[in-house]
Amino acid sequence: MDILLKNSSEVPIYRQIYEQIKGQILNKKLKAGTTLPPIRALAKSLKVSVITVKRAYQELGNDGYIETAVGRGTFVCEVDESLRKKEIEEFKVKIHALMSEAKASGISFEDVIEIIKDSYELDIG
Enclosing domain of residue 99: 81-123
Has residue 7 been placed in a domain?
Answer: no
pLDDT in tens, 34-57: 999 999 999 999 999 999 999 999
pLDDT in tens, 87-99: 889 889 999 999 9
Do 71 and 87 belong together in one domain?
no
Do 56 and 36 belong together in one domain?
yes
Do 39 and 54 belong together in one domain?
yes
Number of domains, the chain:
2
Has residue 1 been placed in a domain?
Answer: no
In SS3 terms, the chain reads as: CCCCCCCCCCCCHHHHHHHHHHHHHHCCCCCCCCEECCHHHHHHHHCCCHHHHHHHHHHHHHCCCEEEECCCEEEECCCCHHHHHHHHHHHHHHHHHHHHHHHHHCCCHHHHHHHHHHHHHHHCC
